[in-house]
Structure 1
Protein backbone atom coordinates (compact mmCIF):
# COMPACT_ATOMS: atom_id res chain seq x y z
CA UNK A 1 0.00 0.00 0.00
CA UNK A 2 2.85 2.39 0.87
CA UNK A 3 4.51 1.88 -2.52
CA UNK A 4 1.21 2.39 -4.32
CA UNK A 5 0.50 5.56 -2.31
CA UNK A 6 3.91 6.97 -3.19
CA UNK A 7 3.18 6.60 -6.88
CA UNK A 8 -0.18 8.34 -6.47
CA UNK A 9 1.25 11.37 -4.66
CA UNK A 10 2.48 13.75 -7.35
CA UNK A 11 5.11 15.82 -5.52
CA UNK A 12 7.72 15.10 -2.85
CA UNK A 13 6.12 17.46 -0.31
CA UNK A 14 3.10 15.12 -0.03
CA UNK A 15 5.18 12.05 0.81
CA UNK A 16 5.07 10.66 4.38
CA UNK A 17 8.86 10.60 4.53
CA UNK A 18 8.92 14.34 3.80
CA UNK A 19 6.72 15.02 6.82
CA UNK A 20 8.93 12.86 9.02
CA UNK A 21 12.05 14.62 7.79
CA UNK A 22 10.84 18.18 8.33
CA UNK A 23 8.23 18.07 11.12
CA UNK A 24 10.80 19.08 13.72
CA UNK A 25 11.45 22.30 11.80
CA UNK A 26 7.89 23.29 12.74
CA UNK A 27 8.33 22.03 16.31
CA UNK A 28 5.70 19.34 16.05
CA UNK A 29 4.81 15.78 15.12
CA UNK A 30 4.00 14.56 11.62
CA UNK A 31 0.50 13.15 11.11
CA UNK A 32 -1.57 11.89 8.17
CA UNK A 33 -5.34 12.06 7.76
CA UNK A 34 -6.84 10.04 4.93
CA UNK A 35 -10.44 10.29 3.86
CA UNK A 36 -11.93 7.75 1.47
CA UNK A 37 -15.44 7.12 0.22
CA UNK A 38 -16.89 5.09 -2.60
CA UNK A 39 -16.36 8.01 -4.98
CA UNK A 40 -13.02 9.50 -3.91
CA UNK A 41 -9.87 9.60 -1.81
CA UNK A 42 -8.11 12.55 -0.12
CA UNK A 43 -4.68 12.42 1.50
CA UNK A 44 -3.58 15.09 3.98
CA UNK A 45 -0.24 15.33 5.77
CA UNK A 46 0.30 17.93 8.49
CA UNK A 47 2.30 18.75 11.61
CA UNK A 48 0.57 18.87 15.00
CA UNK A 49 2.06 21.51 17.31
CA UNK A 50 1.34 21.95 21.03
CA UNK A 51 0.02 25.41 21.86
CA UNK A 52 2.19 26.81 24.68
CA UNK A 53 -0.72 28.34 26.59
CA UNK A 54 -2.33 26.61 29.55
CA UNK A 55 -6.13 26.59 29.68
CA UNK A 56 -7.11 24.42 32.61
CA UNK A 57 -6.08 20.77 32.46
CA UNK A 58 -6.51 20.33 28.69
CA UNK A 59 -3.60 20.51 26.24
CA UNK A 60 -4.52 22.18 22.95
CA UNK A 61 -2.86 21.96 19.55
CA UNK A 62 -2.82 23.53 16.13
CA UNK A 63 -1.65 22.24 12.76
CA UNK A 64 0.57 23.47 9.97
CA UNK A 65 1.65 21.68 6.82
CA UNK A 66 5.35 20.67 6.76
CA UNK A 67 7.93 23.08 5.36
CA UNK A 68 7.39 23.23 1.63
CA UNK A 69 4.08 23.08 -0.22
CA UNK A 70 1.52 20.34 0.32
CA UNK A 71 -1.92 20.45 1.94
CA UNK A 72 -4.86 18.11 1.36
CA UNK A 73 -4.78 16.57 -2.09
CA UNK A 74 -7.38 14.60 -4.03
CA UNK A 75 -5.85 11.29 -5.12
CA UNK A 76 -8.94 10.05 -6.91
CA UNK A 77 -12.49 11.26 -7.46
CA UNK A 78 -15.48 10.34 -9.60
CA UNK A 79 -16.27 12.80 -12.34
CA UNK A 80 -18.18 15.87 -11.19
CA UNK A 81 -17.88 15.11 -7.46
CA UNK A 82 -14.71 16.95 -6.39
CA UNK A 83 -16.62 19.70 -4.56
CA UNK A 84 -18.76 17.12 -2.76
CA UNK A 85 -15.66 15.12 -1.80
CA UNK A 86 -13.90 18.21 -0.39
CA UNK A 87 -16.93 19.09 1.73
CA UNK A 88 -17.19 15.54 3.09
CA UNK A 89 -13.46 15.57 3.91
CA UNK A 90 -13.88 18.87 5.76
CA UNK A 91 -16.71 17.50 7.89
CA UNK A 92 -14.67 14.44 8.88
CA UNK A 93 -11.54 16.44 9.59
CA UNK A 94 -13.57 18.80 11.77
CA UNK A 95 -14.57 15.81 13.91
CA UNK A 96 -10.93 14.73 14.06
CA UNK A 97 -9.84 18.18 15.23
CA UNK A 98 -12.45 18.38 18.00
CA UNK A 99 -11.59 14.86 19.19
CA UNK A 100 -7.87 15.73 19.28
CA UNK A 101 -8.13 19.26 20.76
CA UNK A 102 -6.93 20.91 17.55
CA UNK A 103 -7.86 24.61 17.56
CA UNK A 104 -6.71 25.95 14.21
CA UNK A 105 -5.19 24.86 10.93
CA UNK A 106 -2.71 26.51 8.54
CA UNK A 107 -2.11 25.07 5.08
CA UNK A 108 0.67 25.81 2.60
CA UNK A 109 -0.86 24.63 -0.66
CA UNK A 110 1.15 23.18 -3.53
CA UNK A 111 1.72 25.58 -6.42
CA UNK A 112 2.72 22.76 -8.79
CA UNK A 113 -0.47 20.71 -8.55
CA UNK A 114 -2.73 23.67 -7.63
CA UNK A 115 -4.67 21.73 -5.00
CA UNK A 116 -5.95 24.97 -3.44
CA UNK A 117 -8.53 25.07 -6.22
CA UNK A 118 -10.29 22.01 -4.80
CA UNK A 119 -10.42 23.44 -1.27
CA UNK A 120 -11.09 27.14 -1.83
CA UNK A 121 -14.56 26.84 -0.30
CA UNK A 122 -13.17 25.08 2.78
CA UNK A 123 -10.36 27.43 3.76
CA UNK A 124 -9.82 31.16 3.80
CA UNK A 125 -7.24 31.51 1.01
CA UNK A 126 -4.42 34.07 0.98
CA UNK A 127 -1.95 34.85 -1.80
CA UNK A 128 1.57 35.00 -0.36
CA UNK A 129 3.42 35.95 -3.53
CA UNK A 130 4.84 34.01 -6.43
CA UNK A 131 7.09 31.03 -7.02
CA UNK A 132 9.16 30.61 -10.16
CA UNK A 133 9.96 27.51 -12.18
CA UNK A 134 11.93 26.47 -15.24
CA UNK A 135 9.99 24.62 -17.94
CA UNK A 136 12.18 21.60 -18.69
CA UNK A 137 9.79 20.28 -21.35
CA UNK A 138 10.88 22.90 -23.91
CA UNK A 139 13.22 21.92 -26.71
CA UNK A 140 16.30 23.61 -25.22
CA UNK A 141 15.98 25.16 -21.74
CA UNK A 142 19.35 26.93 -22.08
CA UNK A 143 18.21 28.91 -25.11
CA UNK A 144 14.47 29.06 -24.54
CA UNK A 145 14.28 29.68 -20.79
CA UNK A 146 17.57 31.32 -19.74
CA UNK A 147 18.01 35.02 -20.41
CA UNK A 148 21.12 36.05 -22.34
CA UNK A 149 22.79 37.47 -19.21
CA UNK A 150 22.25 34.14 -17.40
CA UNK A 151 23.73 32.18 -20.31
CA UNK A 152 26.76 34.47 -20.11
CA UNK A 153 27.14 33.65 -16.40
CA UNK A 154 27.11 29.92 -17.11
CA UNK A 155 29.72 30.39 -19.83
CA UNK A 156 31.81 32.49 -17.45
CA UNK A 157 31.84 29.67 -14.90
CA UNK A 158 32.96 27.19 -17.55
CA UNK A 159 35.63 29.62 -18.74
CA UNK A 160 36.84 29.89 -15.14
CA UNK A 161 37.17 26.09 -15.04
CA UNK A 162 34.55 25.73 -12.32
CA UNK A 163 33.86 22.03 -11.80
CA UNK A 164 30.69 20.17 -10.84
CA UNK A 165 30.43 17.49 -8.16
CA UNK A 166 27.41 15.43 -7.05
CA UNK A 167 26.56 14.01 -3.62
CA UNK A 168 23.62 11.57 -3.54
CA UNK A 169 24.13 10.27 0.01
CA UNK A 170 24.79 13.33 2.20
CA UNK A 171 28.41 12.36 2.77
CA UNK A 172 29.46 16.00 2.30
CA UNK A 173 26.77 17.52 4.53
CA UNK A 174 29.41 19.24 6.69
CA UNK A 175 30.66 21.13 3.64
CA UNK A 176 27.16 21.99 2.49
CA UNK A 177 26.18 23.29 5.91
CA UNK A 178 29.35 25.40 6.09
CA UNK A 179 28.36 27.17 2.87
CA UNK A 180 24.73 27.37 4.00
CA UNK A 181 25.69 29.10 7.25
CA UNK A 182 27.85 31.63 5.38
CA UNK A 183 24.84 32.54 3.27
CA UNK A 184 22.40 32.53 6.22
CA UNK A 185 24.56 34.91 8.27
CA UNK A 186 25.15 37.18 5.30
CA UNK A 187 21.39 37.45 4.72
CA UNK A 188 20.58 37.80 8.44
CA UNK A 189 18.33 34.74 8.50
CA UNK A 190 17.10 34.23 12.10
CA UNK A 191 18.31 31.09 13.84
CA UNK A 192 14.82 29.57 14.15
CA UNK A 193 14.41 29.66 10.36
CA UNK A 194 17.72 27.92 9.64
CA UNK A 195 18.09 24.19 9.04
CA UNK A 196 20.39 22.34 11.38
CA UNK A 197 23.14 20.10 10.07
CA UNK A 198 21.56 17.20 11.97
CA UNK A 199 18.16 17.66 10.29
CA UNK A 200 19.71 17.84 6.83
CA UNK A 201 21.86 14.78 7.49
CA UNK A 202 18.86 12.75 8.67
CA UNK A 203 16.82 13.88 5.66
CA UNK A 204 19.20 11.99 3.38
CA UNK A 205 18.22 8.76 5.13
CA UNK A 206 14.49 9.48 5.12
CA UNK A 207 14.47 10.78 1.54
CA UNK A 208 16.88 8.24 0.10
CA UNK A 209 16.89 8.37 -3.67
CA UNK A 210 14.92 11.63 -3.78
CA UNK A 211 17.51 14.20 -2.74
CA UNK A 212 21.01 15.17 -3.80
CA UNK A 213 23.50 18.04 -3.68
CA UNK A 214 25.25 19.63 -6.65
CA UNK A 215 28.46 21.51 -5.87
CA UNK A 216 30.53 23.98 -7.81
CA UNK A 217 34.26 23.72 -7.10
CA UNK A 218 36.90 26.29 -7.98
CA UNK A 219 40.59 25.47 -7.68
CA UNK A 220 39.67 22.48 -5.51
CA UNK A 221 37.45 24.45 -3.12
CA UNK A 222 33.68 24.14 -2.68
CA UNK A 223 32.25 27.56 -3.50
CA UNK A 224 28.57 27.01 -4.26
CA UNK A 225 25.97 24.29 -3.76
CA UNK A 226 22.29 23.49 -4.11
CA UNK A 227 20.25 20.75 -2.50
CA UNK A 228 17.74 19.33 -4.98
CA UNK A 229 14.59 17.28 -4.31
CA UNK A 230 12.69 15.22 -6.86
CA UNK A 231 9.62 13.05 -7.24
CA UNK A 232 7.35 12.44 -10.20
CA UNK A 233 7.57 15.22 -12.78
CA UNK A 234 8.97 17.80 -10.38
CA UNK A 235 12.50 18.81 -9.41
CA UNK A 236 12.99 21.40 -6.65
CA UNK A 237 15.86 23.82 -5.99
CA UNK A 238 15.39 23.26 -2.27
CA UNK A 239 18.29 24.98 -0.51
CA UNK A 240 21.18 26.99 -1.88
CA UNK A 241 24.53 27.70 -0.26
CA UNK A 242 27.19 30.07 -1.55
CA UNK A 243 30.43 31.72 -0.53
CA UNK A 244 30.12 35.37 -1.69
CA UNK A 245 33.90 35.66 -2.05
CA UNK A 246 33.57 33.58 -5.22
CA UNK A 247 30.50 35.17 -6.82
CA UNK A 248 32.76 36.53 -9.57
CA UNK A 249 33.33 33.04 -11.00
CA UNK A 250 29.55 32.38 -11.25
CA UNK A 251 29.51 28.94 -9.64
CA UNK A 252 25.89 29.33 -8.49
CA UNK A 253 24.72 29.80 -12.08
CA UNK A 254 26.56 26.66 -13.16
CA UNK A 255 24.94 24.69 -10.30
CA UNK A 256 21.47 25.67 -11.53
CA UNK A 257 22.33 24.91 -15.13
CA UNK A 258 23.55 21.49 -14.03
CA UNK A 259 20.31 20.93 -12.13
CA UNK A 260 18.38 21.60 -15.33
CA UNK A 261 20.58 19.19 -17.26
CA UNK A 262 20.01 16.48 -14.62
CA UNK A 263 16.27 17.15 -14.68
CA UNK A 264 16.00 16.78 -18.44
CA UNK A 265 18.08 13.59 -18.46
CA UNK A 266 15.87 12.12 -15.73
CA UNK A 267 12.53 12.99 -17.28
CA UNK A 268 11.50 15.90 -15.06
CA UNK A 269 9.08 18.45 -16.52
CA UNK A 270 9.65 21.40 -14.18
CA UNK A 271 12.45 22.68 -11.97
CA UNK A 272 10.92 24.80 -9.21
CA UNK A 273 13.05 27.67 -7.97
CA UNK A 274 10.78 28.91 -5.18
CA UNK A 275 10.08 32.53 -4.32
CA UNK A 276 12.39 35.41 -3.55
CA UNK A 277 12.90 37.36 -0.34
CA UNK A 278 14.86 40.18 -2.01
CA UNK A 279 15.09 41.99 -5.34
CA UNK A 280 18.57 40.54 -5.89
CA UNK A 281 17.35 36.96 -5.43
CA UNK A 282 14.31 37.63 -7.61
CA UNK A 283 16.46 38.91 -10.48
CA UNK A 284 18.83 35.96 -10.15
CA UNK A 285 16.08 33.34 -10.30
CA UNK A 286 14.08 35.18 -12.95
CA UNK A 287 17.13 35.05 -15.20
CA UNK A 288 16.67 31.29 -15.50
CA UNK A 289 13.06 31.29 -16.66
CA UNK A 290 10.75 33.07 -19.05
CA UNK A 291 7.77 31.03 -17.83
CA UNK A 292 5.07 32.91 -15.91
CA UNK A 293 5.35 32.41 -12.12
CA UNK A 294 2.78 30.52 -10.05
CA UNK A 295 0.88 31.86 -7.06
CA UNK A 296 1.86 30.84 -3.53
CA UNK A 297 -1.45 30.18 -1.79
CA UNK A 298 -2.10 29.43 1.88
CA UNK A 299 -5.26 28.43 3.70
CA UNK A 300 -6.39 29.02 7.25
CA UNK A 301 -9.28 27.73 9.31
CA UNK A 302 -10.34 27.92 12.93
CA UNK A 303 -11.53 24.51 14.07
CA UNK A 304 -12.60 25.49 17.61
CA UNK A 305 -13.72 29.12 17.76
CA UNK A 306 -14.42 29.18 21.50
CA UNK A 307 -10.95 28.01 22.47
CA UNK A 308 -9.32 30.07 19.71
CA UNK A 309 -10.88 33.26 21.08
CA UNK A 310 -9.88 32.37 24.65
CA UNK A 311 -6.26 31.87 23.54
CA UNK A 312 -6.24 35.16 21.63
CA UNK A 313 -7.79 37.08 24.52
CA UNK A 314 -5.29 35.59 26.96
CA UNK A 315 -2.27 36.66 24.91
CA UNK A 316 -3.79 40.06 24.15
CA UNK A 317 -4.21 40.62 27.89
CA UNK A 318 -0.51 39.80 28.34
CA UNK A 319 0.45 42.24 25.58
CA UNK A 320 2.62 39.70 23.77
CA UNK A 321 0.94 39.67 20.34
CA UNK A 322 3.34 41.58 18.11
CA UNK A 323 1.82 40.87 14.68
CA UNK A 324 -1.97 41.31 14.46
CA UNK A 325 -1.92 39.90 10.88
CA UNK A 326 -0.44 36.55 11.93
CA UNK A 327 -2.48 33.35 11.88
CA UNK A 328 -3.18 31.89 14.31
CA UNK A 329 -3.34 35.22 16.13
CA UNK A 330 -2.40 33.76 19.50
CA UNK A 331 1.03 33.00 18.00
CA UNK A 332 1.35 36.49 16.49
Structure 2
Protein backbone atom coordinates (compact mmCIF):
# COMPACT_ATOMS: atom_id res chain seq x y z
CA UNK A 1 0.00 0.00 0.00
CA UNK A 2 1.54 3.29 -1.11
CA UNK A 3 -1.28 5.74 -0.46
CA UNK A 4 -3.35 6.54 2.63
CA UNK A 5 -7.03 5.60 1.99
CA UNK A 6 -9.64 8.38 2.22
CA UNK A 7 -13.08 7.98 3.86
CA UNK A 8 -16.04 10.25 4.61
CA UNK A 9 -17.64 10.19 8.08
CA UNK A 10 -20.91 11.53 6.62
CA UNK A 11 -21.47 8.04 5.14
CA UNK A 12 -21.35 6.51 8.62
CA UNK A 13 -23.66 9.21 10.00
CA UNK A 14 -26.18 8.83 7.14
CA UNK A 15 -29.48 6.99 7.52
CA UNK A 16 -28.45 4.68 4.66
CA UNK A 17 -27.41 1.25 6.08
CA UNK A 18 -25.47 0.40 2.89
CA UNK A 19 -23.37 3.61 3.07
CA UNK A 20 -22.81 3.08 6.78
CA UNK A 21 -21.56 -0.47 6.15
CA UNK A 22 -19.31 0.72 3.29
CA UNK A 23 -17.66 3.19 5.70
CA UNK A 24 -17.18 0.45 8.36
CA UNK A 25 -15.63 -1.90 5.78
CA UNK A 26 -13.34 0.80 4.33
CA UNK A 27 -12.01 2.11 7.65
CA UNK A 28 -11.69 -1.42 9.07
CA UNK A 29 -9.66 -2.60 6.06
CA UNK A 30 -7.44 0.53 6.14
CA UNK A 31 -6.68 0.05 9.83
CA UNK A 32 -5.89 -3.63 9.31
CA UNK A 33 -3.64 -2.83 6.32
CA UNK A 34 -1.77 0.36 7.25
CA UNK A 35 -3.32 1.87 10.39
CA UNK A 36 -4.05 5.31 8.83
CA UNK A 37 -6.97 6.98 7.02
CA UNK A 38 -7.66 10.50 5.78
CA UNK A 39 -11.14 11.48 7.01
CA UNK A 40 -13.56 14.03 5.54
CA UNK A 41 -16.99 14.93 6.92
CA UNK A 42 -15.79 15.56 10.51
CA UNK A 43 -17.18 18.10 13.00
CA UNK A 44 -14.56 20.87 12.63
CA UNK A 45 -15.74 23.77 10.47
CA UNK A 46 -13.35 25.99 8.50
CA UNK A 47 -13.82 28.99 10.77
CA UNK A 48 -12.89 27.01 13.90
CA UNK A 49 -9.82 25.56 12.14
CA UNK A 50 -8.68 29.02 10.97
CA UNK A 51 -9.19 30.51 14.43
CA UNK A 52 -7.34 27.67 16.11
CA UNK A 53 -4.28 28.05 13.87
CA UNK A 54 -4.30 31.80 14.44
CA UNK A 55 -4.37 31.38 18.24
CA UNK A 56 -1.75 28.63 18.20
CA UNK A 57 0.62 30.84 16.18
CA UNK A 58 -0.07 33.72 18.60
CA UNK A 59 0.96 31.52 21.51
CA UNK A 60 4.16 30.17 19.98
CA UNK A 61 5.11 33.72 18.91
CA UNK A 62 5.23 34.79 22.58
CA UNK A 63 8.74 35.37 24.00
CA UNK A 64 10.35 32.19 25.36
CA UNK A 65 10.35 33.46 28.96
CA UNK A 66 6.56 34.07 28.78
CA UNK A 67 5.93 30.59 27.38
CA UNK A 68 8.10 29.04 30.08
CA UNK A 69 5.78 30.52 32.73
CA UNK A 70 3.30 27.90 31.51
CA UNK A 71 5.66 24.93 31.83
CA UNK A 72 4.37 23.12 34.92
CA UNK A 73 6.88 20.94 36.81
CA UNK A 74 5.96 17.49 38.09
CA UNK A 75 3.11 16.56 35.73
CA UNK A 76 5.09 14.88 32.93
CA UNK A 77 4.15 17.61 30.45
CA UNK A 78 0.50 16.53 30.45
CA UNK A 79 -0.86 20.10 30.52
CA UNK A 80 0.44 23.47 29.41
CA UNK A 81 3.73 24.15 27.64
CA UNK A 82 6.60 21.74 26.84
CA UNK A 83 9.68 23.56 25.62
CA UNK A 84 11.82 22.85 22.58
CA UNK A 85 13.72 19.53 22.49
CA UNK A 86 12.25 18.17 25.77
CA UNK A 87 10.53 15.11 24.28
CA UNK A 88 12.33 12.28 22.51
CA UNK A 89 10.99 9.15 20.81
CA UNK A 90 11.24 5.80 22.63
CA UNK A 91 14.84 4.58 22.47
CA UNK A 92 16.21 7.86 21.08
CA UNK A 93 18.59 10.19 22.97
CA UNK A 94 18.14 13.28 20.79
CA UNK A 95 15.16 15.52 21.60
CA UNK A 96 12.66 16.18 18.80
CA UNK A 97 12.90 19.58 17.09
CA UNK A 98 9.59 20.87 18.43
CA UNK A 99 7.80 22.72 21.22
CA UNK A 100 4.16 22.07 22.07
CA UNK A 101 1.13 22.75 24.26
CA UNK A 102 -1.35 20.38 25.89
CA UNK A 103 -5.07 20.98 26.39
CA UNK A 104 -6.63 18.17 28.48
CA UNK A 105 -10.09 16.88 29.34
CA UNK A 106 -12.85 19.23 30.56
CA UNK A 107 -14.28 16.78 33.12
CA UNK A 108 -18.07 16.69 33.58
CA UNK A 109 -19.73 15.44 36.79
CA UNK A 110 -16.86 13.33 38.07
CA UNK A 111 -14.90 14.74 41.03
CA UNK A 112 -12.69 11.61 41.16
CA UNK A 113 -11.40 12.11 37.60
CA UNK A 114 -11.15 15.85 38.14
CA UNK A 115 -8.76 15.12 41.01
CA UNK A 116 -6.82 12.53 38.94
CA UNK A 117 -6.15 14.71 35.86
CA UNK A 118 -3.89 17.77 36.00
CA UNK A 119 -5.81 21.04 35.58
CA UNK A 120 -5.80 22.83 32.25
CA UNK A 121 -3.39 25.76 32.15
CA UNK A 122 -4.84 29.18 31.28
CA UNK A 123 -2.77 31.55 29.12
CA UNK A 124 -3.44 34.98 30.63
CA UNK A 125 -2.17 36.95 27.61
CA UNK A 126 -4.43 35.17 25.08
CA UNK A 127 -7.98 34.53 26.37
CA UNK A 128 -9.16 33.38 22.92
CA UNK A 129 -6.44 30.71 22.85
CA UNK A 130 -8.11 28.92 25.78
CA UNK A 131 -11.68 29.23 24.39
CA UNK A 132 -10.85 28.17 20.82
CA UNK A 133 -8.70 25.32 22.15
CA UNK A 134 -11.65 24.00 24.17
CA UNK A 135 -14.03 24.23 21.18
CA UNK A 136 -11.60 22.34 18.94
CA UNK A 137 -11.03 19.72 21.67
CA UNK A 138 -14.78 19.04 21.89
CA UNK A 139 -15.26 18.73 18.10
CA UNK A 140 -12.29 16.39 17.70
CA UNK A 141 -13.51 14.28 20.63
CA UNK A 142 -16.94 14.05 19.00
CA UNK A 143 -15.38 13.00 15.67
CA UNK A 144 -13.26 10.37 17.44
CA UNK A 145 -16.35 8.94 19.16
CA UNK A 146 -18.00 8.10 15.83
CA UNK A 147 -14.79 6.67 14.35
CA UNK A 148 -14.57 4.34 17.36
CA UNK A 149 -18.25 3.41 16.94
CA UNK A 150 -17.50 2.31 13.37
CA UNK A 151 -14.50 0.31 14.59
CA UNK A 152 -16.58 -1.33 17.33
CA UNK A 153 -18.98 -2.62 14.65
CA UNK A 154 -16.04 -3.78 12.53
CA UNK A 155 -14.81 -5.77 15.56
CA UNK A 156 -18.29 -7.32 16.11
CA UNK A 157 -18.78 -5.36 19.34
CA UNK A 158 -21.75 -3.25 20.42
CA UNK A 159 -21.65 0.04 18.47
CA UNK A 160 -21.33 2.07 21.67
CA UNK A 161 -18.74 -0.27 23.26
CA UNK A 162 -16.07 2.48 23.55
CA UNK A 163 -18.45 5.29 24.64
CA UNK A 164 -18.22 4.67 28.41
CA UNK A 165 -14.41 4.50 28.27
CA UNK A 166 -13.87 7.70 26.29
CA UNK A 167 -16.43 9.84 28.13
CA UNK A 168 -14.28 12.06 30.41
CA UNK A 169 -11.28 10.14 29.00
CA UNK A 170 -7.72 11.35 29.48
CA UNK A 171 -7.52 12.75 25.92
CA UNK A 172 -5.02 15.43 24.89
CA UNK A 173 -5.07 18.14 22.21
CA UNK A 174 -1.49 19.00 21.30
CA UNK A 175 -0.71 22.03 19.12
CA UNK A 176 2.91 21.55 17.95
CA UNK A 177 5.33 24.13 16.56
CA UNK A 178 8.35 22.90 14.61
CA UNK A 179 10.45 26.10 14.49
CA UNK A 180 12.72 27.05 11.58
CA UNK A 181 15.90 24.93 11.53
CA UNK A 182 18.87 27.24 12.05
CA UNK A 183 21.79 24.78 11.87
CA UNK A 184 22.47 21.23 10.73
CA UNK A 185 20.62 19.00 13.25
CA UNK A 186 22.78 16.24 14.77
CA UNK A 187 20.71 13.06 14.38
CA UNK A 188 17.55 15.00 15.29
CA UNK A 189 14.35 15.27 13.24
CA UNK A 190 11.15 17.18 13.83
CA UNK A 191 9.55 14.02 15.24
CA UNK A 192 11.50 10.75 15.29
CA UNK A 193 9.88 7.46 14.23
CA UNK A 194 7.33 6.38 16.82
CA UNK A 195 3.97 4.75 17.46
CA UNK A 196 1.28 6.64 19.38
CA UNK A 197 0.32 5.53 22.89
CA UNK A 198 -3.45 6.06 22.80
CA UNK A 199 -6.57 4.54 21.16
CA UNK A 200 -6.65 6.73 18.02
CA UNK A 201 -4.99 10.00 16.97
CA UNK A 202 -6.71 12.69 14.89
CA UNK A 203 -4.21 14.98 13.20
CA UNK A 204 -4.86 18.46 11.85
CA UNK A 205 -2.15 19.99 9.68
CA UNK A 206 -0.95 17.04 7.60
CA UNK A 207 -1.19 19.08 4.40
CA UNK A 208 2.09 19.18 2.53
CA UNK A 209 5.06 16.89 2.94
CA UNK A 210 6.61 16.03 6.30
CA UNK A 211 4.51 13.28 7.88
CA UNK A 212 5.60 9.81 6.74
CA UNK A 213 4.14 6.39 7.52
CA UNK A 214 5.94 3.03 7.36
CA UNK A 215 4.08 0.37 5.34
CA UNK A 216 4.36 -3.42 5.76
CA UNK A 217 7.40 -3.59 3.48
CA UNK A 218 9.25 -1.11 5.70
CA UNK A 219 8.97 1.66 3.07
CA UNK A 220 8.27 5.24 4.17
CA UNK A 221 5.31 6.80 2.35
CA UNK A 222 4.14 10.41 2.50
CA UNK A 223 0.86 10.91 4.38
CA UNK A 224 -0.68 14.03 2.88
CA UNK A 225 -4.24 15.08 3.74
CA UNK A 226 -6.46 17.45 1.75
CA UNK A 227 -7.30 20.75 3.52
CA UNK A 228 -10.73 19.38 4.62
CA UNK A 229 -9.32 16.06 5.89
CA UNK A 230 -7.98 14.84 9.22
CA UNK A 231 -5.35 12.12 9.24
CA UNK A 232 -6.49 9.47 11.77
CA UNK A 233 -4.35 6.57 12.95
CA UNK A 234 -4.53 3.66 15.37
CA UNK A 235 -2.53 3.97 18.60
CA UNK A 236 -0.82 1.25 20.64
CA UNK A 237 -3.69 0.93 23.14
CA UNK A 238 -6.20 0.00 20.44
CA UNK A 239 -3.69 -2.21 18.64
CA UNK A 240 -3.02 -4.07 21.90
CA UNK A 241 -6.75 -4.37 22.72
CA UNK A 242 -7.38 -5.93 19.26
CA UNK A 243 -4.35 -8.28 19.39
CA UNK A 244 -2.72 -6.20 16.63
CA UNK A 245 -5.65 -6.81 14.25
CA UNK A 246 -5.83 -3.00 13.94
CA UNK A 247 -2.31 -1.75 13.25
CA UNK A 248 -0.51 0.97 15.20
CA UNK A 249 1.85 2.12 12.47
CA UNK A 250 5.27 3.69 12.99
CA UNK A 251 5.36 7.25 11.63
CA UNK A 252 7.65 10.29 11.75
CA UNK A 253 7.92 13.95 10.76
CA UNK A 254 11.03 14.46 8.65
CA UNK A 255 13.01 17.67 8.32
CA UNK A 256 12.15 19.66 5.20
CA UNK A 257 14.60 20.17 2.30
CA UNK A 258 17.33 22.66 3.20
CA UNK A 259 15.69 25.46 1.17
CA UNK A 260 12.65 25.26 3.51
CA UNK A 261 14.61 25.18 6.76
CA UNK A 262 13.65 28.81 7.41
CA UNK A 263 9.93 27.95 7.70
CA UNK A 264 7.86 26.89 10.70
CA UNK A 265 5.53 23.90 10.57
CA UNK A 266 2.43 23.59 12.75
CA UNK A 267 0.43 20.45 13.36
CA UNK A 268 -2.30 19.73 15.88
CA UNK A 269 -2.90 16.11 16.91
CA UNK A 270 -5.73 15.03 19.20
CA UNK A 271 -4.78 11.93 21.17
CA UNK A 272 -7.94 10.02 22.12
CA UNK A 273 -7.32 8.30 25.47
CA UNK A 274 -9.82 6.31 27.52
CA UNK A 275 -10.29 6.66 31.27
CA UNK A 276 -7.28 5.11 33.01
CA UNK A 277 -9.35 2.25 34.53
CA UNK A 278 -10.17 0.80 31.06
CA UNK A 279 -8.81 -2.73 30.71
CA UNK A 280 -6.77 -3.13 27.54
CA UNK A 281 -6.93 -6.93 27.81
CA UNK A 282 -7.01 -8.54 24.35
CA UNK A 283 -10.59 -8.90 23.08
CA UNK A 284 -11.77 -12.53 22.91
CA UNK A 285 -13.05 -11.93 19.38
CA UNK A 286 -9.48 -11.12 18.24
CA UNK A 287 -7.96 -14.41 19.49
CA UNK A 288 -8.04 -17.69 17.54
CA UNK A 289 -5.63 -20.54 16.78
CA UNK A 290 -3.92 -18.49 14.05
CA UNK A 291 -3.82 -15.37 16.26
CA UNK A 292 -2.87 -16.37 19.82
CA UNK A 293 -2.99 -13.72 22.53
CA UNK A 294 0.10 -11.49 22.11
CA UNK A 295 -0.19 -9.09 25.06
CA UNK A 296 -0.39 -9.25 28.85
CA UNK A 297 -3.40 -7.76 30.64
CA UNK A 298 -2.92 -4.09 31.59
CA UNK A 299 -5.05 -1.00 32.25
CA UNK A 300 -4.86 2.14 30.13
CA UNK A 301 -3.48 4.10 33.09
CA UNK A 302 -0.67 1.61 33.75
CA UNK A 303 0.23 1.49 30.06
CA UNK A 304 0.30 5.30 29.75
CA UNK A 305 2.56 5.61 32.79
CA UNK A 306 5.02 3.04 31.39
CA UNK A 307 5.21 4.92 28.11
CA UNK A 308 5.64 8.38 29.67
CA UNK A 309 8.66 7.01 31.57
CA UNK A 310 10.08 5.61 28.30
CA UNK A 311 9.62 9.03 26.64
CA UNK A 312 11.52 10.77 29.40
CA UNK A 313 8.50 12.87 30.41
CA UNK A 314 8.14 11.17 33.81
CA UNK A 315 11.16 10.23 35.89
CA UNK A 316 11.08 6.84 37.65
TM-score by length of 1: 0.20
Q: Which has the higher helix share?
A: 1
Q: Which has the higher strand share?
A: 1
- Structure 1 or 2, whichever has the larger Rg, is 1
TM-score by length of 2: 0.21
